[in-house]
């Protein structure tokens, strides 16, 4: 029984379902922040879209492994089961498109398709030309921007108003947090990425420089959140800041205790669970 639970949880993580939960929690956070109430269909479309994008990324990474045997288990799994996953991807993509056309505004669907096309094009360019174009060493930054932009797109459209300084800072910090988590994962995966021939922030700048950069990034985030207190006018906004402080602190602590985080790939488990924290916004009412 315990073995079955462990195996199920491993599959849960390999298939990026922990990322999907984090996306939904961040979606709740952004929606509350912009004072909109999306339907359940939007959350379903958001979840399926994120799963599609992450699965495509893992499939491409799996294909880049030397001799078809990537060191990173997630990539190895996707490479081994690529035919089944491609069938699921195709079916889910059709379902997501049809559902979006039926239940979302036309402008949101068009903007979402454009964003998806940009993300997909980036992945293809990164896969084929990453060694020749230095810009594409910044895969983590692009993913962070696309991640937050994809979540924010519909709530911003429904809000139908310009963003306040408070909202802009919190959304900007969310991009920086997603970027920090991506870089942190590459910092822990440095040796495996070198073996599999993957390019990342850490393989481009080295582990030592990457660690210094992450510490600096976390300090900048703390400063921005402290500045944002100046634009806080109610308890809800203060609570939103506290959530991002908790997220930033969690990621920084993971960097400070690498030996503990390396055991059983805890850095991946806790790194993704950091993005479950935005769901705490529900406690603010």
Q: How many CB atoms lie within 10 A of CB 98?
A: 10
Distance (Å, rounded) from C-alpha 247 to C-alpha 136?
27
* Full residue range of the structural domain in which residue 62 is found: 2-284
pLDDT, tens digit (0-9, with 9 covering 90-100), for 46-95: 999 999 999 988 888 777 655 556 667 787 888 888 999 999 999 999 99
pLDDT digits 0-9 by tens, 128-182: 766 655 555 678 999 999 999 999 999 999 998 999 999 999 999 999 999 999 9
Q: Are 183 and 210 in contact (CB under 8 A)?
A: yes
Residues composing the chain: 285
Q: What is the C-alpha separation between 215 and 180, in angstroms, rounded?
A: 9
Prediction pTM value: 0.92
3-state helix, strand, coil in the chain (%, to 5): 85, 0, 15
Residues near 115 by Cβ (< 8 Å), separated by ≥ 6? 146, 149, 150, 153
Query: Residue 273's domain is classified under what CATH number?
Result: 1.10.600
Question: Looking at the 3D structure of the chain, how many domains does it have?
Answer: 1
């Amino acid at each position: 029984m315990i073995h079955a639970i462990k195996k199920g949880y491993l599959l849960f993580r390999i298939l990026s379902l922990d990322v999907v939960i984090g996306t939904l929690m961040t979606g709740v956070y952004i929606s509350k922040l912009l004072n909109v109430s999306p339907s359940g269909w939007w959350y379903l479309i958001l979840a399926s879209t994120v799963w599609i994008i992450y699965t495509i990324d893992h499939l491409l990474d799996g294909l880049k492994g030397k001799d078809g045997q990537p060191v990173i288990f997630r990539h190895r799994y996707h490479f081994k089961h690529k035919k089944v996953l491609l069938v699921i991807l195709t079916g889910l993509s059709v379902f997501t498109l049809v559902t979006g056309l039926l239940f979302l505004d036309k402008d949101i669907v068009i903007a979402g398709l454009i964003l998806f096309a940009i993300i997909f094009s980036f992945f293809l360019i990164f896969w084929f030309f990453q060694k020749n174009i230095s810009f594409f060493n910044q895969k983590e930054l692009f993913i962070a921007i696309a991640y937050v932009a994809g979540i924010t797109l519909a709530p911003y459209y429904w809000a139908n108003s310009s963003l306040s300084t408070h909202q802009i800072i919190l959304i900007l910090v969310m991009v920086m947090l997603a970027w920090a988590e991506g870089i942190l994962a590459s910092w822990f995966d440095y040796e495996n990425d070198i073996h599999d021939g993957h390019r990342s922030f850490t393989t481009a700048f080295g582990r030592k420089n990457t660690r210094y950069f992450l510490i600096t990034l976390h300090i900048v985030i703390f400063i921005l959140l402290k500045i944002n207190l100046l634009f806080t006018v109610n308890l809800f906004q203060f609570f939103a800041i506290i959530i991002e402080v908790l997220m930033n602190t969690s990621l920084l602590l993971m960097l400070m205790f690498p030996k503990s985080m390396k055991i059983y790939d805890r850095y991946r488990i806790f790194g993704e669970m950091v993005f479950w924290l935005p769901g705490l916004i529900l406690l603010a009412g």
